[in-house]
Amino acid sequence: NLKQGELLFLNQHIEHEIAACATEDIIINFIIQPQFFDFIFSFLTTENRISNFLINSLYNSTQNGQFLYFKVSEVKSIQALIKKIIIEIMSSAFMSDSTVKLYMGLLIVELIKHADKAEHTEDYPVQHYLIVESLKYIDENFQKASLYELSSQLNQPHYALSKEIKKATNYTFKELLQEKRLSKAKELLESTNMPITTIIEQVGYDNVSYFYRIFKNKYNQTPKQFREHLAKK
């Protein structure tokens, strides 16, 4: 049974239900969208069960790794972050969405630091290690990332690694890399006045027309139209 201040992470692919609670019990359900973890993976290490659980929960449509149960009622740093998240969500002030995202990132990091306080259902195979490392590699090296370099670093045949990535995520290495590059380009368009051609180079492309095509395909606007739309807000 959950106690006050404890956390339960559930794999998004499992079926579950909540038993009847007492009159004064309060349970807060946070639903975390998979895309939130785009910027979290750079913090994850392969030596902890939390990163393995997240990979399994996000990308494997199985019953493996059903839950993580954190007995963190006495961990002040974690309780303080949860309180801040709840207050920010309830107040819904200026920049609340960004603030909650940053707090949640800090919460994940704190939970990783206190992984010894987590109970889980089972161990994870080597494939999860490969997927964690692959996602971290794309996140950290997206400008010049290549499947061949990654496979060399992981001491895996490139065709076998490619198959594991596709099996776990439903995306190819190239598709994951493109998603990261487009996301970074969108971020630079929103937060800087950098020329579009420079942004294209910054995210790892040298073919301007190709970049315009894939950007418009994803966001339904060209980079120029996207920036002009932002300026009108």
Say if residue 232 is in the same domain as residue 162: yes
Range with the poorest average pLDDT among 2-11, 28-37, 71-80, 132-141: 28-37
| 2 domain residue, yes or no | no
Say if residue 131 is in the same domain as residue 115: no
- pLDDT value, residue 25: 80
Say if residue 13 is in the same domain as residue 111: yes
Say if residue 178 is in the same domain as residue 223: yes
| 25 domain residue, yes or no | yes
Say if residue 14 is in the same domain as residue 112: yes
More confident residue, 16 or 59: 16
Domain stop point among 94, 120, 146 = 120
What is the percent of the chain where pLDDT is above 90?
A: 39
| 1 domain residue, yes or no | no
Average pLDDT over residues 167-173: 86
Residue 186 has pLDDT above 50, yes or no: yes
Range with the poorest average pLDDT among 14-23, 56-65, 74-83, 196-205: 56-65
| 137 domain residue, yes or no | yes
| 193 domain residue, yes or no | yes
- pLDDT value, residue 54: 64
- pLDDT value, residue 91: 85
Contact 107, 47 (CB under 8 A): no
What is each CA distance from 227 to 28, 95, 184, 188, 219, in whole angstroms?
37, 20, 14, 10, 12
Distance CA 15, CA 23 (A): 25
Q: How confident is the model at residue 174 (pLDDT cuts 50, 70, 90)?
A: very high
Distance CA 79, CA 102 (A): 15
Distance CA 30, CA 108 (A): 13
In the DSSP assignment, the letter for residue 95 is T
Distance CA 62, CA 144 (A): 33
Say if residue 106 is in the same domain as residue 11: yes
Contact 173, 158 (CB under 8 A): no
- pLDDT value, residue 224: 93
Say if residue 116 is in the same domain as residue 135: no
Rg (CA), the chain: 20
Domain stop point among 61, 89, 120 = 120
pLDDT digits (tens, 9 = 90+) for 39-62: 566 556 555 556 666 666 655 544
- pLDDT value, residue 213: 95
Say if residue 12 is in the same domain as residue 116: yes
Residue 63 has pLDDT above 50, yes or no: no
Say if residue 105 is in the same domain as residue 196: no
Say if residue 41 is in the same domain as residue 111: yes
Contact 54, 44 (CB under 8 A): yes
Say if residue 130 is in the same domain as residue 223: yes
What is each CA distance from 55 to 17, 34, 45, 185, 220, in whole angstroms?
23, 10, 12, 25, 29
- pLDDT value, residue 9: 78
Residue 206 has pLDDT above 80, yes or no: yes
Instruction: Residue 159: give its domain's CATH number.
Output: 1.10.10.60
More confident residue, 165 or 64: 165
Say if residue 199 is in the same domain as residue 179: yes
Highest-confidence range of 50-54, 70-74, 111-115, 128-132, by mean pLDDT? 70-74
Token pair, residue 98, equals: 């960004």
Number of folded domains that form the chain: 2
Q: How confident is the model at residue 114 (pLDDT cuts 50, 70, 90)?
A: confident
Residue 139 has pLDDT above 50, yes or no: yes
Q: Domain of residue 82: give its range.
A: 7-120
- pLDDT value, residue 222: 95
Domain stop point among 69, 93, 120 = 120
Element (H, E) at 213: helix 208-219
Mean pLDDT, rounded, of the chain = 82
